[in-house]
Structure 1
Amino acid sequence: MNAGPMGTVGWRHPDARNDFLSAAYYTETARLLEAAKFDMVFVPDSLAVPRSLGGRFDPAVQYGSGSPRLDPVPVLSLMAGATTRIGLAATTSTGYNEPYNVARSYATLDHLTAGRAGWNVVTSFQDAEAQNFGHDALPPREQRYARAEEFLEATAQLWDSWSDEAIVQDKTTGQFGRPDQVRAVDFKGRYVSTQGPLGVPRPPQGYPVIVQAGASPSGRDFAARWADVIFCSHESIESAVEFYADVKALAVKYGRNPDHLKILPAAAVVVGDSVQDAQARHHAFEDLVEPEAGLSRLAYHINVDLTQYDLDGPLPDLEVAGVMGHYREVLEHARKNDLTIRQLGKWYGARTEGYLVGSAADIADGMQEWIERGAADGFMVVATHVPAAFEDFATKVVPELQRRGLFRTEYEGATLRENLGIPRPERDEWKNRAKSALEAQENR
């Protein structure tokens, strides 16, 4: 779930709420999703108002493309108080934070929610983010992932600096904790350092659920070693099958059980009483999109100023883009449909990832096909507008999925890991991840 106006023009939809700066917007949406038995609510984030189109933030402000973003951790805290079972995940960048404060925030959230926290690990993808923290541009992709490797190892060591048995609280003897069960970290890397121990005991889940969305070779490699959940986006089921097989094989290569890595493609679902009704709803949504609004959103995602190219010409081949998964998806669609950059803007502003437009049965058919063909373990349902699109999915599609035995009717466990079917990591699991990272570097 996005933490604000959805996509580019979701805020313009007649059924969209306009109080995204209120607590009720988030708490009521979280309750809705929990009643539908969703695994988790996800709040994305970025650390800048996009300046990718023409070097100006004007389009982002005018059209609401990628802006504004509330700090997601307080948002999750609000949702936590309004729910009891649904997982709560948010984006936090390894580029412009430090391991100690991130480890502390997510360990705290995991304790206060009895094990429902998740962290979407990103390396940042906009130069505007770098510029908000005193740098002219983002570091190269390989350097960003090298920092992320160190960041994850340091963060995991901080979570493991307390054993599960460290707290005693024996009022008779006066012993609060066992010093021999708490240790310093003393992590010193090229990019990050921390002394430890963490000021928060080990989280209920061991580590909060780690989410990642990298589609580049570096991103896939990173996710195969560290992630519990992968968010991805595909223009076709064929590209989704390739991605799924590749990442699962990488997980096996690094000694992991591939079933413990859940791959969730984005699905911007438009559901109607029939295919024709759903298509009419989607066309009405598309009519709200101005081409510049979609281009602003696209430029933001790929971190490329598209105004330097002929907008009535084709999208060029790019060796480097901010979010490579989005760029490859867009390039695939553009070539398949012979679209200009300007036409892509219109499409991108209202795109429905995964082609899930139709009746409840049609949506369930599509999701079932993706799962059965090895393209997905589940889906990241993206609402075109909040809360009505989530309400439609919850009241129409969820019962159909439940009828087919494809979705739960009750939560299976108490923690997010239990509900996802992902085991709790033992203390010092980070050593296995760090070892596989070193082997990956040696094999390059």
Structure 2
Amino acid sequence: MKETEAHVTPAWVLHPDITSDRSRRAAQPALAEAVALAAALPGLEVVGSTVVRLPKPQPRALFGTGKIAELDALFKAQDVELVLVDGPVTPVQQRNLEKAWGVKVLDRTGLILEIFSDRAATREGVLQVEMAALSYQRTRLVRAWTHLERQRGGLGFVGGPGETQIEADRRAIDDQLVRLRRQLDKVVKTRGLHRAARAKVPYPIVALVGYTNAGKSTLFNRLTGADVMVKDMLFATLDPTMRAVKLPDGPEVILSDTVGFISDLPTELVAAFRATLEEVLAADLILHVRDISHSATEEQAKDVRDILNSLGVTNTTPLLEVWNKIDAMDIEAREAAQTRADRDDAVYATSALTGDGLEALLEAVSQILEGDRRVEVIHLGFDEGRKRAWLFQKELVEEETQGETGYSLRVRWSAQEARQFEALK
């Protein structure tokens, strides 16, 4: 007897192109990204997508009655069970659209929460997703779920049939948020202790940031030999991953792979995932990984810079741009990108997949972290064994002689390593 196959939910993606919004994104790339977001969620099959142009959102149901009727016919013809709206949808609009179409409706925030809840692996990630989802649900305690919920069994975290938060009142949600915050505080405190322990070593932190699906995890894996999930999909990495890496002819560093950024990141998630991005704030160097082959690479780069600014990352932290995926470009575009990168000391054209350009990038990382190395002779007493061991561990000692009162060591080091040495107790 064959096992029953898991139900696949036919979904349709809508991108409202609001013409009165001067800051709106180009419609077709935005729709393509929304489709890619939907494709990142298991159990969904995107059967179609549409850009809907409208002068301004209608307060009652987002779209006008004529467009709602037109879309209703389309959805019924395609047996659509879920409509994903690439933008904000108010609780009232969501309720009215679900009533008009007889399907479940998720807005951009709801979809991203679904993906995050599916991907969270660490205790911290799970807690942050739950808090973000509760904050989102608190604003929409509207009983608008249709018979569809019982049929499809729920997609995951947001609005599933066993989702007791949906039936709960705001007070119950607030109580749960308080409980989750306490748990998260403990987890964050533990991470803080780990960071403090690393600071005593101390290794420089190099943080990989970038738009989702820019190739950060592929680069991370190539540099560290780790096995971080790599897929051509949005938000393949959610929880932060860290590994120690010895740079060629350079220092040992801690490389941190972070959650991918995305335009219009829901405010609930910016707040909830601030702890996940704490490694970026503590970084000695940031590598902004860009998919330079993407048609919207400039817009994506601006979104990343805006989020870094909102997190409090200042210009005092060195930042290199890694123009990744040059292997995905044709020869002419690739040569043009390489030429542009060669003109800017802070830009490196690479392919994390093939390894092209990584040697030059790592040399630049070493140079920034170490600066110009200088030779000094220092004296240590016999009771300063810990400092002596640290120098040898870091491979900084060129020559050592022992005298009556201790050791004389000739070391070659950077200004940063000298400061780290002085900080040792």
Provide TM-score, normalisation by structure 2: 0.28
| The structure with more strand, counted as a fraction of residues | 2
Quick one: higher RCO (CA 8 Å, sep 6+), 1 or 2? 1
Query: Radius of gyration: which is bigger?
Result: 2
Provide TM-score, normalisation by structure 1: 0.27
